[in-house]
Amino acid sequence: MGSSVITSLSLSFKQVPPTAVPAFLDYVLSSTGVSPSTLFESLIKELSFRAEKFPSDDCNHIASLVAGICHLLKSFGFGTEDNHNALQLFVWRVFVPLMKMVRAYDLDMLNKVNLPPPAVY
């Protein structure tokens, strides 16, 4: 996936509230022909880049990126036993870093994101 597409998508996440991200991503996937796994990996990389320098006013942007990653996990079976690596990637590259950088007064951000239920193996 081209870096210009990811940059454009990331900028769009600044404007899209976390609750609208699932519909937005479904539209992007159906209109561009990008595979869900490519989009998932790209969003993980983008979030890792954004999380390095996390200004507190970027909360909605980060929440929208996480909502997108969670939507892809839920909708395309990335959290299933068949694709355990995607769930591990989510935990280590998204969830744990978020927990480290979220301050007590920023817990609002975590409440905005619909995390997928734990997978049963």
Mean pLDDT score, 71-100? 75
Kindly tell me if the per-residue pLDDT of 121 is higher than 50: no
Quickly state the pLDDT bin for 114 (edges 50, 70, 90): low
- CA torsion sign for 115, 82, 84, 23 is negative
Domain boundaries, the chain: 3-112
State the pLDDT at residue 45: 81
Average predicted confidence (pLDDT) for the chain: 74
pTM equals 0.72
